[in-house]
Structure 1
Amino acid sequence: MALITGLFTFLYHLPQIYKWLLKPYYIGSFLMTVAFLLVRKAPGVCQHLATQREDGNSCDFDWRELEILMFLSAIVMMKNRRAITMEQHIGNLFLFSKVANVILFFRLDIRLGILYLALCVAFVMTCKAPVYMGPEYIKYFSDQTIDEELQKDSRVTWIVEFYANWSSDCQSFAPVFADLSLKYNCAGLRFGKVDIGRYGEVSERYKVSTSPLSKQLPSLVLFQGGREIMRRPMVDNKGRAVSWTFNEENIIREFNLNELFQKSKKLSKGRGLKGEEQDSSKPDEGSDEPHPETNHPEQPTESKKDQ
């Protein structure tokens, strides 16, 4: 049953996987993931490699290599239990496969290990993971605009993501947050993002640490009237984030998005009526509800290219 479920999941995501294959980052990551397998099995190359097999077959894995690969599989499965997107699943596989490849190559030949490690460093420095560029109703803040926007209208509730472009968790969460903005954005409920990797003063002002050890990236904060009401993940007295899964169900439940959206729709209607009295031909900014059939959806005033 698990095999059938996995097969259907793979087929469902096949179009997305096909798009990944066209991107240099995923092509390079895939090749580096299978590098040791290719070297160990390549005809004309594997015959010259060292081996600890009793039969002396240097074109097959020895018991220690199999042990490392099995341990890698266990680690990836454990990490993927908390993964919420296909990008996170693939990212975990790439990351720990590269670590395993470094160990395997150094064990096989220190020169191959150094070469592979150098390639990993060069790949990280020159090839970045693709950034989500799909549809979204999100306002991108800078250090100059965030305070003004949050305090501009006390009737508007903001859900703001504090993120950093270098964080793989933030990159994986981007499509989830974008999807929520498409479903729940309206005049009284807005979605925003600020890159605290770029704006360090915002990080200090809102007490969101950018240290990888703190595990506070991404952070979602709910603001009403410019005041913080709640945030996830919560932070303990030692400044460490309390473990929390950033999936759509958890966010909807913890932030009461359905209830907030219903209240915000009333604000949208009120603004719409007021706008009609003032100028029937000029719709109020932000009054569009996030439905697929909307003909003129609100466009964010900033974009990733602006950042």
Structure 2
Amino acid sequence: MGLITGLCSFLYHLPQIYKWLLKPYYIMSFFMTVAFMVVRKAPGLCEHLATQREDGNSCDFDWRELEILMFLTAIVMMKNRRAITLEQHIGNLFLFSKVANVILFFRLDIRLGILYFALCVAFVMTCKPPLYMGPEYIKYFSDKTIDEELQRDSRVTWIVEFFANWSSDCQSFAPVFAELSLKYNCAGLRFGKVDIGRYGEVSEKYRVSTSPLAKQLPSLILFQGGREIIRRPMVDNKARAVSWLFSEENIIREFNLNELFQKSKKLNKSRGLKEEDQNGIPPEEGSDELQTESDNPQQPTESKKDQ
């Protein structure tokens, strides 16, 4: 039953996945991933390649190449155990396939190895993974607006993601955070992001390191009244992040999003009753910010960037 459900879900999202995979980054990554297999199997070319096979067939993999490919498969499977999005699964496959191809090409012919390595360097420098541009209820902060927004209203709880555009983990987490904002954003529970790769002073003030060795990107911090209440991942005494899986389920549980959302709805209803008591008339339809946002999650009104 689970297999059927997964297959139906894949077929339902197939047009969207197909459009996503047609982006230049993924097309180029695919060709670079299969480059060695194409060279080894290409008629007219493979006959001139070196081989260690006993039968002398240079158009088939030798035992060492099969070992490297099997090791690649094991590494990708281990890394994908912690992957939470399709982008992460495919990204791991592309990354480690390129590393394996470099080894295979250098082993086959040093000239081919140098050529492939140069292509990898050019690819990394010129072709970046596509950024998430889907719907979201997220406010983007700058170094000048973050403090003001967090302290504007003590009744509003903020969940802020500290990220950097160059971080692949941040790029993979973007659709997860966007989905949470669509489900839980309301008058008393807001979602924000700040690029600490761009605003270094924000990184220092909120003690979120941008060093790849610290592994603190992305970081989620919950603020109430401008004060930090909880952050994930936590940081140990050596300023290194404690391993934590950024899945939707973990975030909902650790940050008590369901409870916070229910409290925010009660806060919004109390505001409406106060307005009715003071004015003698019920609030106009559409004046309820929470009701508007939670009833229409597919029509985001938050600005994409507010810097």
* TM-score, with structure 1 as normaliser: 0.91
1:31 shift after superposition: 0.5
One-letter amino acid matched to 2:302? P
Cα distance per residue 1:48-69 (max 9 Å; x no partner): 1111111111111000000000
User: Partner of 1:101 in structure 2?
Assistant: 101
- After superposition, the Cα gap between the structure-2 partners of 1:12 and 1:61, relative to the gap in structure 1 and judged at 3 Å, is farther
Tell me, in whole angstroms, the C-alpha distance in 1 between the residues paired with 2:5 and 2:190. 37
One-letter amino acid matched to 2:301? Q
Deviates more, 1:19-28 or 1:133-142: 19-28
1:74 shift after superposition: 0.3
1:281 shift after superposition: 5.7
One-letter amino acid matched to 1:72? L
User: Partner of 1:43 in structure 2?
Assistant: 43
- After superposition, the Cα gap between the structure-2 partners of 1:274 and 1:76, relative to the gap in structure 1 and judged at 3 Å, is same
User: What secondary structure sits across from 2:194 in the alignment?
Assistant: strand
User: What secondary structure sits across from 1:40 in the alignment?
Assistant: helix
Deviates more, 1:268-277 or 1:217-226: 268-277
User: Partner of 1:301 in structure 2?
Assistant: 303
Q: Unpaired runs of 5+ in structure 2?
A: none
Tell me, in whole angstroms, the C-alpha distance in 2 between the residues paired with 1:47 and 1:3. 43
User: What secondary structure sits across from 2:140 in the alignment?
Assistant: strand
- After superposition, the Cα gap between the structure-2 partners of 1:38 and 1:297, relative to the gap in structure 1 and judged at 3 Å, is closer
- After superposition, the Cα gap between the structure-2 partners of 1:287 and 1:92, relative to the gap in structure 1 and judged at 3 Å, is same
Q: Say yes or no: does 1:120 pair with 2:123.
A: no
Kept in 2, the 8 Å contact 1:271–1:287? The answer is no
User: What secondary structure sits across from 2:106 in the alignment?
Assistant: helix
Kept in 2, the 8 Å contact 1:39–1:45? The answer is yes
Tell me, in whole angstroms, the C-alpha distance in 2 between the residues paired with 1:144 and 1:34. 47
User: What secondary structure sits across from 2:58 in the alignment?
Assistant: coil
1:139 shift after superposition: 0.3
1:267 shift after superposition: 1.9
1:260 shift after superposition: 0.3
One-letter amino acid matched to 1:191? F
Q: Unpaired runs of 5+ in structure 1?
A: none
Q: Over aligned residue pairs, what C-alpha RMSD do you find? A: 2.5
User: What secondary structure sits across from 2:158 in the alignment?
Assistant: strand
User: Partner of 2:152 in structure 1?
Assistant: 152
One-letter amino acid matched to 2:186? C
Work out which of the residue numbers 285, 290, 293 in structure 2 matches 1:287.
Answer: 290
Cα distance per residue 1:112-148 (max 9 Å; x no partner): 1111111111111111111111110000000110011
User: What secondary structure sits across from 2:290 in the alignment?
Assistant: coil
1:199 shift after superposition: 0.7
Tell me, in whole angstroms, the C-alpha distance in 2 between the residues paired with 1:57 and 1:221. 58
User: Partner of 2:246 in structure 1?
Assistant: 246
Counterpart mapping for 1:116-265 below 5 A = 116-265=116-265
Kept in 1, the 8 Å contact 2:156–2:188? The answer is yes
Kept in 2, the 8 Å contact 1:157–1:222? The answer is yes
User: Partner of 1:88 in structure 2?
Assistant: 88
User: For this pair of structures, how many residues does the alignment match?
Assistant: 304
Kept in 2, the 8 Å contact 1:106–1:113? The answer is yes
* TM-score, with structure 2 as normaliser: 0.91
One-letter amino acid matched to 1:104? L
1:299 shift after superposition: 1.6
Deviates more, 1:184-193 or 1:119-128: 119-128
User: Partner of 1:268 in structure 2?
Assistant: 268
1:4 shift after superposition: 7.6
One-letter amino acid matched to 1:160? V
One-letter amino acid matched to 1:26? Y
One-letter amino acid matched to 1:147? D
Deviates more, 1:273-282 or 1:228-237: 273-282
Tell me, in whole angstroms, the C-alpha distance in 2 between the residues paired with 1:170 and 1:275. 41
One-letter amino acid matched to 2:290? S
One-letter amino acid matched to 1:233? P
One-letter amino acid matched to 1:180? L
1:275 shift after superposition: 5.9
1:286 shift after superposition: 4.5
Tell me, in whole angstroms, the C-alpha distance in 2 between the residues paired with 1:233 and 1:294. 31
Tell me, in whole angstroms, the C-alpha distance in 1 between the residues paired with 2:227 and 2:153. 12
Deviates more, 1:154-163 or 1:293-302: 293-302
